[in-house]
């Protein structure tokens, strides 16, 4: 029996390759500083845990509606009204076991074999695999460090042909931590309407913005799908709770996909999500303020080491750094550079190639770790540079 082509052609998630190699080193007694993984280091807020435990105690241990608890969908609707002043009908929300199943369900619903989706280069590593798994093709549009890694609408337009069905955006973005300006979001929305395309907006890092203001694509167009969830903002990665906002005409099909593939999201986690939206505001503020202090510290240390970061990342919890001059010693490979940093500096970092060819030679740092660990990681990196890359 042969393995399916669609799985054989799926690319590894390189940040996990680094993490798993680091874990092997830790089991051998090494002390590793983890700046590779994009996972909050905070515990889930107490109000969320209480709500889930209360649901368990109350016997809420059975399937929910395949679209999700009505109470949770209503809370999500109220959250989008409060934050963006957009009206989202709870009936247009599909609750999923994290945002990844939402991506699988959506791309399976809107894409046929041979269709195309515009993505930025760089972008979140797994987008391309979701798109190709649905039989479609990602079309990479390069974005530049000098332009704060933002789409140029003219470049999107040049990449369009009759097979393109959607434009995928992510603001704040992984791996760059930068935001699309409202003007560019408006221009993308207008282009989508002009060409009868859909905008797919990944808003998972909304709420984790430190200087600018995040905007939802739903403020600019109704021709849009939105991914979001609880993992990043509420430190709920292990709860596996996300959602998809979609136009009404797609909901019945998405419901059928979810009924067949997932049945429903975890019931106790959904009740935790209700509490997160309604009660966890002070916890979010505390975490956000802490992230910002780490961001400022990391940027300062990296610049003092000589790295030219042209635009401050103002969202998510990532700093993407051009290290092509270091990667040149490894045939330009950011993956080889990342493994060398792991081996010699005992610090996990993510290679830029994980996110696209346009950031080969870059390294992504996550500040979703304590300030003490970030300081130690920066100290180790500084020693590594002096010992192995000094002129």
H, E, C per residue of 31-70: CCEECCCCCCCCCCCHHHHHHHHHHHHCCCCCCCCCCCCH
- Domain boundary at 280, 304, 323, which? 280
CA separation for the pair 95, 262 (Å, rounded) = 11
Query: In terms of domains, do 192 and 208 share one?
Result: yes
Query: In terms of domains, do 210 and 72 share one?
Result: yes
Question: 């760089």: which residue's tokens?
Answer: 122
- Domain boundary at 264, 280, 296, which? 280
Given pLDDT bands bounded at 50, 70 and 90, which one contains residue 391?
A: low
Confidence (pLDDT) at 390:
82
Query: In terms of domains, do 54 and 193 share one?
Result: yes
Q: Which tens digits make up the pLDDT trace of 210-229? A: 998 999 999 999 999 999 99
Query: In terms of domains, do 232 and 377 share one?
Result: no
Q: What CATH number should be reported for the domain holding residue 175?
A: 3.40.640.10
Q: Which tens digits make up the pLDDT trace of 268-285? A: 999 999 999 999 999 999
Confidence (pLDDT) at 13:
87
Query: In terms of domains, do 221 and 240 share one?
Result: yes
Confidence (pLDDT) at 370:
96
- Domain boundary at 216, 247, 280, which? 280
Query: In terms of domains, do 118 and 233 share one?
Result: yes
CA separation for the pair 193, 195 (Å, rounded) = 6
Query: In terms of domains, do 323 and 355 share one?
Result: yes
210 is in which domain, residue-wise?
46-280
Q: Which tens digits make up the pLDDT trace of 287-346? A: 999 999 999 999 999 999 999 999 999 999 999 999 999 999 999 999 999 999 999 999
Query: In terms of domains, do 83 and 166 share one?
Result: yes
Confidence (pLDDT) at 12:
82
| Mean of the per-residue pLDDT values of the chain | 96
Query: In terms of domains, do 310 and 218 share one?
Result: no
Confidence (pLDDT) at 212:
86
Confidence (pLDDT) at 223:
96
pLDDT over threshold 90, residue 10: no
Query: Pairing mode, if any, of strands 164-170 and 198-202?
Result: parallel
Over its C-alpha atoms, the chain yields an Rg (Å, rounded) of 21
Query: In terms of domains, do 38 and 56 share one?
Result: no
For the whole model, what pTM was predicted?
0.94
Tally of domains in the chain = 2
């Amino acid at each position: 029996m042969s393995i399916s082509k669609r799985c054989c052609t799926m690319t590894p998630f390189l940040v996990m390759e680094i993490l798993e190699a680091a874990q092997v080193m830790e089991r051998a007694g090494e002390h590793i500083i983890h700046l590779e993984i994009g996972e909050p280091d905070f515990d889930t807020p107490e109000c969320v845990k209480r709500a889930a435990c209360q649901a368990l105690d109350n016997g809420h241990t059975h399937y929910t509606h395949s679209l999700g608890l009505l109470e949770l969908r209503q809370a999500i609707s109220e959250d989008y009204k409060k934050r963006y002043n957009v009206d989202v009908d709870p009936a247009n929300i599909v609750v999923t076991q994290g945002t990844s199943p939402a991506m699988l369900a959506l791309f399976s619903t809107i894409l046929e074999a041979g269709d195309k989706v515009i993505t930025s280069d760089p972008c979140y590593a797994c987008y391309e695999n979701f798109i190709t798994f649905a039989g479609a093709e990602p079309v990479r549009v390069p974005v530049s460090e000098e332009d704060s890694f933002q789409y140029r609408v003219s470049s999107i337009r040049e990449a369009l042909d009759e097979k393109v069905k959607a434009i995928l955006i992510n603001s704040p973005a992984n791996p760059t931590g930068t935001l699309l300006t409202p003007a560019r979001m408006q221009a993308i929305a207008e282009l989508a309407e002009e060409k009868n395309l859909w905008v797919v907006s990944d808003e998972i890092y909304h709420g984790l913005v430190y200087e600018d203001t995040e905007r939802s694509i739903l403020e600019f167009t109704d021709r849009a799908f939105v991914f979001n969830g609880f993992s990043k903002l509420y430190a709920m990665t292990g709860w596996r709770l996300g959602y998809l906002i979609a136009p009404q005409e797609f909901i019945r099909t998405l419901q059928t996909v979810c009924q067949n593939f997932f049945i429903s999201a975890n019931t106790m986690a959904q009740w935790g999500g209700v509490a997160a939206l309604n009660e966890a505001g002070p916890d979010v503020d505390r975490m956000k303020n802490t992230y910002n202090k780490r961001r400022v510290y990391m940027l300062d240390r990296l610049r003092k080491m000589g790295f030219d970061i042209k635009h401050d990342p103002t969202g998510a919890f990532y700093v993407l750094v051009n290290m092509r001059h270091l990667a040149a010693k490894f045939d330009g490979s950011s993956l080889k550079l990342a493994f060398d940093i792991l081996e010699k500096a005992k610090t996990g970092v993510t290679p830029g190639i994980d996110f696209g060819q346009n950031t080969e030679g870059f390294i992504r740092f996550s500040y979703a770790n304590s300030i003490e660990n970030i300081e130690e990681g920066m100290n180790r990196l500084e020693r590594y540079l002096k010992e192995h890359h000094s002129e």
